[in-house]
Structure 1
């Protein structure tokens, strides 16, 4: 197949800023060469009565297997040459190209076909240097540090089992099973040792309110309504009876704010903990300020630059967002903003979000290219190590997963985008 890509004729038609049609013609010499190879392979393996294997005349091979061979040769020609055509025209499709016109390969004739590809648009981004950004730096006070210390103390709670009715923030373990109003069990709505934090988490809106006030060993039948927008349309908006049994009630017990707490956190004393908290509060303020600046930058650049985005990219991102929403719904984790939205309204909402995210990525990609931003292997590995530490998983395990899922480019693009933001912020008006 080494010479198949030689002498290709490639014509490109712009269907839009993000869609191209390539008409590709493979010269007859390449077609004949590939056809000979295919006939030779077919002849070596064909078993036809009256002939030794490998000795069947070519005319009989053509008569018996000709159409199949021609289709296979056409497929092989497409698989090899379309990649070359894309490289030659410097096009990177955002998804697998669609084959628009394809026939069968014929000896002594050129083979022609066309493909349609979606690509990211070539956009020229300007106005990102010298932006007048709104900086809202706020000093970190002693009161802020004390609040941070209190948050540390509250985060170091332990659960202690209690013999009393449960109240807000208690950790309650329950068994439950749901059934329709006429007593038919609902598949998928039965759980053993299900954790509920009263006032904070539950498998269904209102579930934790029904648990509140119950003690260990109590049982209760609660009538609850499923949200209208859950993925299971057979029960969406319908009422069901939840048969609840409380197995344990635990309350949070908090430590004192003292040297012992600091030592539990591997620090010398409370004063060292206070210093560490101050550093973290300052870092948090700086991160929050940067996030605010990034949002302002994107808002202004998106407003300033209008361009078409590839529908395939939007569709892919939309699918990722919707899968996350559906999974959260299954867990009973519906955001307040999404509550009460119909399935169509949810899809429309996240379609707009997906389009915006794709538009932002294209803008940041263009700035990264214009500023010649690169990411070193050391920077990539450091980023993955930070991710692994944050998720509490081994570095080797995470980097293997990233490579297996083909997400290396995603990580590196994210790092490029952060560098792009750093350049924009550093070169903005009023920058230090």
Structure 2
């Protein structure tokens, strides 16, 4: 039996979800823009080892996506070595930005003495355990042994730092450009422009 008694209820639910999705996307864009602005204004020395590691991770993700589509990864890599090297060079600016973003957020987390609680980690592990059909405690042990729990903790800290940056920012509504007045003859008039310009360039008495 459907959870919606009428077509109207279904339409209302769809509209609500669409609106929620738009608001979530808008907030995500704002958050990313705020964090990027902070990163752009920061001066950070990027360790080459971290950039290389990030590039390797990005390439691994790319190859895994090919494998998921049924591509023979070994044969693909062998046949496209030069192209893959070129792809890595093209991806370097993105990798550098990701590394810089991580380092900046790490610095903010340290400066603000942000912490990750066991509840924070459990909230990440729970859905992963459900998806993998394993007990959360068992998955936690596996993550501890593989060292991935450290990455989870680091990502949570960076999320908290990004939350802090986002919360300190004030969104500014874009201003609509004013339309020039149009005279009876059909010509556009710009009022006050000459006065403003002369005032801007004339020395004060």
TM-score where L is the length of structure 1 = 0.33
- Structure 2 distance, partners of 1:428, 1:364, is 15
Offset of 1:330 from its aligned partner?
Answer: 4.1
Specify every segment of 5 or more residues in structure 2 that has no aligned partner in the other structure, as ranges. Answer: 72-79, 173-205
Q: Which runs of 4+ in 1 moved over 6 A?
A: none
1:193-223, CA deviations, whole angstroms, 9 ceiling, x for partnerless residues? Answer: xxxxxxxxxxxxxxxxxxxxxxxxxxxxxxx
Q: Give the Cα–Cα distance (whole angstroms) in 2 for the partners of residues 418 and 331 of structure 1.
A: 29
Structure with greater contact order relative to length (CA < 8 Å, sep ≥ 6): 2
CA distance in structure 2 between the partners assigned to 1:312 and 1:296 by the alignment: 27
Instruction: Find 2:85's aligned residue among 305, 323, 344.
Output: 344
1:342 aligned counterpart, secondary structure: helix
Which has more strand, going by share of residues?
1
Q: For residue 394 of structure 1, what is the aligned residue in structure 2?
A: 134
Aligned to 1:422: 163
The number of equivalent residue pairs is 161
Deviation at 1:403, TM superposition (A): 2.0
Correspondence for 1:284: 21
Are the equivalent residues in 1 in contact too, given 2:35–2:162 (CA < 8 A)? no
Query: Who is 1:329 aligned against?
Result: 66
Q: Answer yes or no: is the 8 Å Cα contact 1:373–1:420 preserved in 2.
A: yes
In 1, Cα distance between the equivalents of 2:113 and 2:25? 27
Aligned to 1:87: none
Q: Give the alignment of 1:31-110 within 5 angstroms.
A: none
Contact 2:116 2:157 in 1 (8 A): yes
Q: Which structure's residues are more often helix, by fraction?
A: 2
State the shift of 1:361 in Å: 0.4
With over 3 angstroms needed to count, the CA separation of the structure-2 counterparts of 1:325 and 1:299, relative to structure 1, is same
User: For residues 105 and 121 of structure 2, what CA distance do their matches in structure 1 show?
Assistant: 18
Given that 2:121 and 2:152 are in contact with CA atoms closer than 8 Å, whether structure 1 keeps it comes out as yes
Aligned equivalent of 1:269 = 5
Q: Give 2:51's aligned residue.
A: 314
Equivalent-residue separation in structure 1 for 2:121 and 2:164 (angstroms): 19
Contact 1:388–1:395 (Cα < 8 Å) also in 2: yes
From the superposition, tell whether residues 288 and 388 of structure 1 become closer, same or farther in structure 2 (CA, over 3 Å).
Answer: farther
What's the C-alpha RMSD, in Å, of the aligned pairs? 2.9
Instruction: Map Cα deviations across residues 127-153 of structure 1 (whole Å, 9 max, x no partner).
Output: xxxxxxxxxxxxxxxxxxxxxxxxxxx
In structure 1, C-alpha distance between the alignment counterparts of 2:9 and 2:145, rounded to whole Å: 43
Q: CA deviation at 1:272?
A: 4.9
Work out whether residues 34 and 169 of structure 2, in 8 Å CA contact, stay in contact via their aligned partners in 1.
Answer: no
Q: Please give the TM-score of this superposition, normalised by the length of structure 2.
A: 0.65
Contact 1:322–1:350 at 8 Å: present in 2 too? no
